[in-house]
Amino acid sequence: MLLLRCPLLLLLLPLSSRPQKLPTRDEELFQMQIRDKAFFHDSSVIPDGAEISSYLFRDTPKRYFFVVEEDNTPLAVTVTPCDAPLEWKLSVQELPEEASGEGSGEPEPLEQQKQQITNEEGTELFSYKGNDVEYFVSSSSPSGLYQLDLLSTEKDTHFKVYATTTPESDQPYPELPYDPRIDVTSLGRTTVTLAWKPSPTASLLKQPIQYCIVINKEHNFKSLCAVEAKLSSDDAFMMAPKPGLDFSPFDFAHFGFHSENNSGKERGFLKSSSKFGRQTSSKPRADLHKVCIGNKNIFTVSDLKPDTQYYFDMFAVNTNTNMSTAYVGTFARTKEEAKQKTVELKDGKVTDVFIKRKGAKFLRFAPVSSHQKVTFSVHSCLDAVQIQVRRDGKLLLSQNVEGVRQFQLRGKAKAKYLIRLKGSKKGASMLKILATTRPNKQSFPSLPEDTRIKAFDKLRTCSSVTVAWLGTQERNKFCIYKREVDDSYNEEQKKREQNQCLGPDTRKKSDKVLCKYFHSQNIQKAVTTETIRGLQPGKSYLLDVYVIGHGGHSVKYQSKLVKTRKFC
């Protein structure tokens, strides 16, 4: 069981007499703990099964502790960065004899306990650097004194930590549906209608879930914590403490728990009243808005500006735990005020295009000088799109594009090109397009005709797989990434993966295998192989290869699902 190591609380509980049952926290003790804020005044304490929120000053590390009393105990630790990347590390060291549940002496003085902790270096279990919500999960952890070290090197920042020894029964974070994307179902000049599939936590487990939508003009958010950090400090989020002053990182007034001062208030995540009835919205900012709409799974965002690109994020919030999970965000551009104008393409500049379901967009390219050839490069981020190119009214090209395609057409003096892009019938489409009359002005990396990754079945082992892919005569940088997936992962799930235009900068650092430069003047020999080692026996992995061009734009090869041998 997970116990709090601090002089304010040293309660030792007898273990269950049934040895086949894994230890769990004492719920009566836990409920007593969370009702008394004094138990969590020491900022080095992590409670079992409750999320804490705290603050880091730049370049000032912070350390937390908790104890696992028995071997083979399940353990899950989740760290959520808010408005800055974090460096964090989880380690464990053996329990001192005085910490054993068999002892009956007086608790050690606080300074003596801290001295004992800081004099010993534990065994590192996990480390991470970045701004993703990252977690350490183990079905069988050893007993010991666990310590969590956190550091922010960019700026002062908020963060959240959750730890539990009963991850199977707790499940405080809402589960995402099999397709976690947000669909743009309707697009107007001042409105955008969004739809999404409900969380199984609500539809199957019947737990109370509400959905919160975040709208802004800058970028998508990875967590609701990051949104709250961006909003004003008094909007359901703790204010940054002043340097040198003690503060409680576990402010129950902001996390839905009752205390003496708020015993009459309803437990919930957002409590501000609103003219929208059941909806609750955050304090408005000029560039960021949040609205919580209950358990609906369709919503129309209104009062938007015409011809403006907005980013939309959806968070499922468990109102029992006040903890949230992010859907895959999307973006959309509202329609123009007047009749939609044709977008002008500039020579050699990549343009982002959004097309609603079954919709169409028109673009115009008018080279300023005479030219012999014109090249159109298209990178479809989601489903296939149709491209038609007309030169002075004459149809030159009509093709469906999936992934990356490049088309080279014969030029003509003073010619003007009209490009029609038609979206998919399945859903909204996003793509990048480049038009140029200069052959050497290519932001997109060159690709072989075949962008599949080949796996060699005979070279599979219990801990490695060997793969190969084609290159080109142009020297490019290739980066390969791996991600462990469930055995049930299939091609349909692969298609539902988020936006294919997202590059390796969106991947976790731990997913990276290697990067290398590669090309061959002999196109027949432009093939490279790599052996990916350090894999687990009988596990499935999704492999991705990114090629990065001179302009910095990356293109992902077709993902490859591989599985290591179970027995060797």
The pTM assigned to this predicted structure is 0.43
Euclidean distance between CA atoms 433 and 531, whole angstroms: 34
User: What is the reported pLDDT for 331?
Assistant: 94
Query: Contact 308/217 with Cβ under 8 angstroms?
Result: yes
pLDDT tens-digit map of 403-421: 778 888 988 888 899 999 9
Query: Contact 163/5 with Cβ under 8 angstroms?
Result: no
User: What is the reported pLDDT for 496?
Assistant: 63
| pLDDT by position in tens, the chain (length 568) | 444 433 333 333 333 333 333 344 454 544 444 444 344 444 587 888 888 888 889 999 999 988 888 888 889 899 998 888 899 999 998 876 654 444 444 545 434 544 555 556 678 899 999 888 888 988 888 888 889 999 999 888 889 998 988 887 777 889 899 999 999 999 998 999 999 999 998 777 778 899 999 999 999 998 898 888 888 644 433 444 444 333 333 333 332 333 333 333 333 333 333 333 334 444 455 588 999 999 899 999 999 998 899 999 999 998 888 889 999 999 999 998 766 678 899 988 889 899 888 888 999 999 887 788 898 988 888 878 999 999 988 999 999 988 778 888 988 888 899 999 998 888 888 888 989 888 666 667 878 888 899 999 999 999 999 999 999 888 889 999 999 988 888 766 666 665 677 788 888 999 999 999 988 888 888 899 999 999 999 999 999 999 988 777 888 888 899 999 999 8
Euclidean distance between CA atoms 424 and 48, whole angstroms: 48
Euclidean distance between CA atoms 326 and 78, whole angstroms: 14
User: What is the reported pLDDT for 540?
Assistant: 93
Query: Contact 55/240 with Cβ under 8 angstroms?
Result: yes
Following DSSP, what letter does each residue of 350-377 receive, concatenated?
-EEEEE-TT-EEEEEE--SS--SEEEEE
Among candidates 403, 431, 333, which has minimal Cα distance to 555? 403
User: What is the reported pLDDT for 117?
Assistant: 53
Helix (H) or strand (E) holding 210: strand 209-216
Euclidean distance between CA atoms 329 and 306, whole angstroms: 21
pLDDT tens-digit map of 81-111: 888 889 999 999 887 665 444 444 454 543 4
Q: Positive or negative CA dihedral for 162, 167, 169, 174?
A: positive
Query: Contact 73/167 with Cβ under 8 angstroms?
Result: no
Residue 347 identity (one-letter amino acid): D
User: What is the reported pLDDT for 236?
Assistant: 39
Cβ contacts of 458 within 8 Å, gap of 6 or more:
none
3 state SS of 112: helix
CA distances to 22, 250, 345, 369 from 365, rounded to whole Å, are: 67, 57, 5, 12
User: What is the reported pLDDT for 424?
Assistant: 82
Query: Contact 311/213 with Cβ under 8 angstroms?
Result: no
